[in-house]
Amino acid sequence: MRIVNIVGARPNFMKMAPLLREMRRHPEITTTLVHTGQHYDDRMAGQFFRDLQIQQPDISLEVGSGSHAFQTAEVMKRLEPVLTDVRPHVVVVVGDVNSTVAGAITSVKLGIPVAHVEAGLRSFDRSMPEEINRILTDAISDHLFVTEESGRENLLREGVDAAKIHMVGNVMIDSLEQSRPVWERSDVVEKLGLPRGGYGVVTLHRPSNVDDPATLRGLVKALGEIGRRLPLVFPVHPRTQSRLEAVDAESASAGGSGARYIAPLGYLEFVGLMASSRLVLTDSGGLQEETTALGIPCLTLREHTERPITVTQGTNRIVGTSPDRIVEEAMAVLAATQAAMARPPLWDGHAAERIVAILRNTWRGGATPTDRTHAS
């Protein structure tokens, strides 16, 4: 069974790592890992490959940065001859980045089945490029692996055949649990001189937050207010760094914002930092899930989420970008006692096993395991 696995950006790596690990357990599976190069900076890609012990890519397309249209088109142009040469039985794409939709379209055009991991998530905000990628990828995929019940409901509402939809859990949590023995031993908190349980973590990268100077100034202002009560550490995405430099230098400086800016961290160090924090403020979808699994309060600095289970059954609050609202919600979190939360169904560290079992049985022509059966 030949499987081509496509990754392109940092969020993809955490999702692909447990799938590759599980595929390698089965001698009948031959994997080809294609890295499109959508994220090519070592801090954004290379370090994550090392931390997650992902094999070096078999093929690197080296697409690099560019507009959404440029990246999508370049991936398609460079991927087509790879797929024609390998002739895989299935192509696996993960998440919602440009490489995801480009990989799916290219495969389908060649008549190759597509498996989409993390299917069905919807923010219902089509101004988000990721939302367009999710909708298009799901519409043309043959296997749709969903992380939460909202994903199944969204796909059924869009007319997807129920037989294509599989509730399997969350591969992000697989990576979290598989690497737990390492990140629990991380000394990143001590190296940064932070008090365990007494600091907050900030990440920002979405264009709607960092490309609008007025919005970014408002967020920096809110961080300044919160920082007077709780030390904040902010691993700065390279894209965000350039935007911060364009904002008023005084308010965007570490002293003025109340946040301590540091270089991006690898996966293991970042999870170690997040796991010992009191609060996370982010616009990342993946961090909404990871904080839910870790029981860390999360304030999502967006108006919508495509992961509603992190709100209904997790630690996440959607607070928007109003500085006053952000500060108010942060103070409420700090004043409250942290309550233990149960994890969402099937977020148990075994999603990759279920996914690979379904793909193997489909290839063999056997019956698909029931959605909630733990694959052996």
139-171 residues labelled b (16+ CB within 10 A) or e (exposed): eebbbbbbbbbbbbebbeeeebeeebbbbbbbb
- Which residue range forms the structural domain that includes residue 300? 186-335
Same domain? 80 vs 132: yes
Same domain? 160 vs 225: no
- Once rounded to an integer, what is the mean pLDDT over residues 237-241? 77
Give me the number of domains the chain comprises.
2
The alpha carbon of residue 268 and the mean position of all alpha carbons in its chain are separated, in whole angstroms, by 15
Same domain? 239 vs 133: no
CATH number at residue 329: 3.40.50.2000
Which residues are identified as catalytic?
205
Same domain? 192 vs 153: no
Same domain? 80 vs 102: yes
pTM value surpassing 0.85: yes
Is position 180 within any domain? Answer: no
Is position 181 within any domain? Answer: no
Same domain? 119 vs 205: no
pLDDT grade, residue 219 (50/70/90)? very high
CA 364 → CA 83, 141, 368, distances in Å? Answer: 21, 19, 10
pLDDT value at position 148? 98
Is position 105 within any domain? Answer: yes
Q: What is the pLDDT of residues 270-283, one digit of tens each?
A: 999 999 999 999 99
- 8 A C-beta contact, residue 19 and residue 353: no
Encoded tokens for 272:
């170690």
pLDDT value at position 372? 35
Encoded tokens for 199:
């600091």
Same domain? 7 vs 150: yes
Share of the chain above pLDDT 70, in %: 92
Encoded tokens for 358:
């379904």
pLDDT value at position 258? 67
pLDDT value at position 308? 97
CA 325 → CA 50, 125, 248, distances in Å? Answer: 39, 21, 22
Is position 374 within any domain? Answer: no
